[in-house]
Amino acid sequence: MKPPKTGPALPISATEAKTLFADWKAARVLVLAVSGGPDSMALMWLAARWRRAVTGGPDLIAVTIDHGLRRGSAREARHVKLLATSLGVTHRIVRWSGAKPESGLPAAARDARYRLLARTARAHGALHILTAHTCDDQAETVLMRLSRGSGIAGLSAMARETMRDGFILARPFLNVPKSRLIATLKKAKIDYVEDPTNRDLNFTRPRLRALMPALAEEGCDAHNLTRLASRLARANTALELLVDGAERYLALQDDDAQHPGFRTEAFAVLSEEIKVRLLLRVIDRIGCEGRAELGKVEALLLALESAANHAGFGRRVLLRRTLAGALVTLTSERISVEPAPPRRRTN
Ligand SMILES: Nc1ncnc2c1ncn2[C@@H]1O[C@H](COP(=O)(O)OP(=O)(O)OP(=O)(O)O)[C@@H](O)[C@H]1O
């Protein structure tokens, strides 16, 4: 069924903006991440108008990271400063001066951006960094993760608030279509820049973005994709609560609870999803090589189950595997998890 045709996008009203920003009214300082593109220029304009209308609201600091990757990036940053100054918002330009990698440039730029935003937030005593992610960005994130075969947590995509490096990353526009932000800027007669890399089909995200109109014709539009993300986020929260409960249950069953791991028999009766999540948690805690990949944890669980099925009694080791810096050992009594020994150098 084709989705119903909708009218032209409406600008965000002052009353709507008050609701969108309400969660952060009591903050002392808010950092606004403003690239100069339409979404974040609207973020700055709407936040400044909201701030003028509330008494005792937070100080606003707009921050533009100049990645130094395109000609004209410094000029774009100055363009943001002009608008910030006219709105009475403090503005900082921070340049990414580190070495730029040959491959994986978007991911490296993104990491550098969040690091520099966090550094600036710290310098201004801010706990919150607001970005202008829209419901279109959320839909693209869901598609990217679908195409990589992510699980429930990954498909939940971005949350309205997430912790990162000790800061709260806040996304007030996660349910707002980009078209409404553009309509807001148009009405306020504010110019913005369009980053040409957003249309560069050498990158995955722009390629998926280009598919969106055809998918929307079939009903797979931003609205339905973001609805999927929020439903899965809800399911994910419920599952994590079950994992909390399972963790406590297993700890009570375990007479060696000081050492990370689970009693094999008690672990075996849990459902697959809970087992995978328990393994993920303990490996993340003990290993020191970052988050274990879901597919690898699923493979580990299969191997544990198959080895446990062929077990006799006693403490004989049935399986030993390392994953993400953790060493997992199975006996018929216990699944133990400890830091993996350092890898041997191969030269
Ligand atoms: N150069 C920049 N300076 C400051 N803020 C930025 C900059 N680039 C992006 N942002 C902020 O990040 C938001 C998302 O931007 P974009 O979609 O380009 O990021 P991304 O590379 O997809 O990474 P992610 O979506 O995970 O943040 C923007 O709306 C803006 O708030």
**CATH number of the domain enclosing 117:** 3.40.50.620
Residue of 30, 31, 40 to test ligand 1 pocket, by largest number of atoms within 8 Å of CB: 40
pTM: predicted TM-score of the whole model, two decimal places: 0.90
- The DSSP letter of residue 70 is S
pLDDT of res. 345: 63
In short, whether 34's Cβ falls inside 6 Å of ligand 1 is yes
The pLDDT of residue 203 is above 90? no
Mean pLDDT of the chain: 93
Question: Does residue 244 lie in a domain region?
Answer: no
Pair 144, 217 in one domain: yes
Average pLDDT estimate for 100-116: 90
Question: Does residue 238 lie in a domain region?
Answer: no
Structural domain boundaries enclosing 295:
255-339
pLDDT of res. 134: 97
Question: Does residue 146 lie in a domain region?
Answer: yes
Pair 34, 118 in one domain: yes
* Residue 65 CA, closest ligand 1 atom number: 3
Q: Is 90 exposed, middle or buried (0-12, 13-18, 19+ CB in 10 A)?
A: middle
Cα-based distances in Å from 42 to 50, 178, 179, 241, 337:
12, 10, 11, 37, 49
Q: Find the 210 Cα to ligand 1 centroid distance in Å.
A: 19
Average pLDDT estimate for 204-216: 94
Average pLDDT estimate for 268-295: 95
Window from 1-10, 13-22, 180-189, 208-217 with minimum mean pLDDT = 1-10
Pair 158, 223 in one domain: yes
In short, whether 81's Cβ falls inside 6 Å of ligand 1 is no
Question: Does residue 1 lie in a domain region?
Answer: no
Pair 93, 59 in one domain: yes
Pair 198, 281 in one domain: no
Pair 188, 301 in one domain: no
Give the residue, by CA position, lying nearest to ligand 1 atom 7: 35
In short, whether 133's Cβ falls inside 6 Å of ligand 1 is yes
In short, whether 76's Cβ falls inside 6 Å of ligand 1 is no
pLDDT of res. 312: 63
Pair 225, 259 in one domain: no
Average pLDDT estimate for 225-250: 97
* Residue 67 CA, closest ligand 1 atom number: 1
Average pLDDT estimate for 27-40: 97
Question: Does residue 110 lie in a domain region?
Answer: yes
Pair 221, 267 in one domain: no
Question: Does residue 7 lie in a domain region?
Answer: no
pLDDT of res. 194: 83
Pair 47, 156 in one domain: yes
Confidence of residue 285 (pLDDT cuts 50, 70, 90): very high
Confidence of residue 314 (pLDDT cuts 50, 70, 90): low
Pair 140, 259 in one domain: no
Question: Does residue 5 lie in a domain region?
Answer: no
Pair 75, 170 in one domain: yes
Q: Domain count of the chain?
A: 2
Instruction: Say what percent of the chain tops pLDDT 70.
Output: 96
Pair 159, 207 in one domain: yes
Q: Find the 301 Cα to ligand 1 centroid distance in Å.
A: 37
Give the residue, by CA position, lying nearest to ligand 1 atom 27: 110
- Say if residues 46 and 20 touch (Cβ distance below 8 Å): yes
pLDDT of res. 316: 87
The pLDDT of residue 151 is above 70? yes
Radius of gyration of the chain (CA): 24
